[in-house]
Amino acid sequence: MEVITPLQPSECAGMEDIRREIDALDQTVIKLLGKRFQYVLTASKFKTSATSVRAPERFKTMLATRREWAEAEGLSPDAIEKMYSDLVNHFIAEEMKHWAAQHTASAMLPQESPPPAITFDKPIPILRMFDEIKAREFYLDFLGFSVEFEHRFEADLPLYLGIARDGLQLHLSEHHGDASPGSTVFVPMHNIERLRDELLAKRYGYGRPDIVQQGWGQVLEVHDPFGNRIRFCQS
């Protein structure tokens, strides 16, 4: 393979030599511009905004420096400035497309969500009962609860009863392993005087509850037939 050694301008014997050398130089220049373009695209990874992509101050400084280099090489600073201005503006436009595509793609990626926080729903106390008739008389007729559900494994087995009133839920169980008699349920509430008046008006045979004033608020305590206490409280 023949190796052609580049000629200096003074060594050229005619137009064929000159054109060959110019073509070779232009090819080298274009390859270098291609490499320059790759640096420009890579720079988009480090840009944080569209303004940083355009970098107007850097553009202005770059053109001034190229004018100095042109003058040092005996070239027209104006011509070189125009050439670089057109070239770099084109590169900036391409870099902007690249930057926008990167940011659009990253925005479309599924964002990693933090692990869900641990939360708790409202607790439901379980109270022991021994007599269904007395339980219904106290909780439904006297306290005004409604039945949410009833469950027995078989007709003659213990009852598990879910009751509710105005956001308060209780479970009553005849199963000996669910709860122990003598439990206390603390129930924060509002309008405690109205509840007291309602209960007294029913004239329940086994209790006439009244409000006790404590240092921190009011307490209205009722006792069910199984030794459990429900302590209604208003701060």
Per-residue pLDDT of the chain (235 residues; tens, 9 = 90+): 455 788 998 998 999 988 999 999 999 999 999 999 999 888 888 888 888 888 889 889 999 999 999 999 999 989 999 999 999 889 888 888 888 887 776 556 666 778 889 999 999 999 999 999 999 999 999 999 999 999 999 999 999 999 999 999 999 999 989 999 999 999 999 999 999 999 999 999 999 999 999 999 999 999 999 999 999 999 9
Closest by CA to 163, choosing from 155, 172, 154, 151, is: 172
Q: Give 82's contacts (C-beta < 8 A, 6+ positions apart).
A: none
pLDDT of residue 105: 60
Decide whether 14-102 matches 126-234 in CATH topology: no
CB neighbours of 78 closer than 8 A, spacing ≥ 6?
67
- CATH topology for the 14-102 domain: Chorismate Mutase Domain, subunit A (1.20.59)
223 beta partners: 229
Output the six-digit token pair for 74. 């005996």
pLDDT score recorded for residue 71: 92
Domain spans, the chain: 14-102, 126-234
Which of 1.40.20.10, 3.10.180.10, 3.40.50.720, 3.10.20.600 is the CATH number of 126-234? 3.10.180.10
pTM reported for the whole predicted model: 0.54
